Structure 1
Amino acid sequence: MPKTILTVDDSASIRQMVTFTLKGAGYAVTEAVDGQDGLDKARAGRFDLVFTDQNMPRMDGISLIKALRGLPQYKTTPILMLTTESGDAMKAQGRAAGATGWLVKPFDPQKLLEVVRKVIG
């Protein structure tokens, strides 16, 4: 059974690129259009990894991470930020919220897969 990944981003093109990259490597991917949609889908399913953007309508990435970390099934699930934000203060906020790692857009598909393999195999 393939590992399952939830990708949360308000940019359809980014979601498509992430999904294409991950599915090509054999992962099962579910897309969410913003943080609230991501939280709803996370509650309804069980994912091995979550990718989230930071700047989204309805709920931003850091709020999503905090909400996920509050759910028993996501206490230890790897959560990676995939965002244009690269400032140290924002990264510190992400770590404090419970982010496992940080990737900056635009991303290199090979680098993305390396990180995924490192955190979930």
Structure 2
Amino acid sequence: MTRKKHRRQREKGISAYAADLDAADINRERHRGRELRQTQWWKRQTAKGVCHWCGRQTGAGEMTMDHIVPVARGGRSVKGNVVPSCKDCNTAKEQLLPMEWEAYLKDARDTTLDEDASD
């Protein structure tokens, strides 16, 4: 990988390790995720229909599998790295790490509070 490409990856917040993942690694983890979704363990995780991130109640069938450490950033499809998430949170979180996601949520809450205070 070129020095320029590494710099662009760092600017985007992508680690060198994650940037070097190849398509086969990502496809393998996606396959493991599909297998994990079929397990009783995952069905129990989603049965309550509560999003891990926002706590919002949705139907159990509407829950998505979110990787705490995204596959694109080196995460794996294992029990300790996946949580039930509503579609909105999973889509917004994308490839963020938990610390980055918490900062995003804090900024969103602060912005909402500032807007409410100015009304």
* TM-score normalised per structure 1: 0.26
User: More helix per residue: 1 or 2?
Assistant: 2
User: More strand per residue: 1 or 2?
Assistant: 1
Higher Rg: 2
Task: Give the alignment's TM-score, normalised by structure 2.
Answer: 0.26
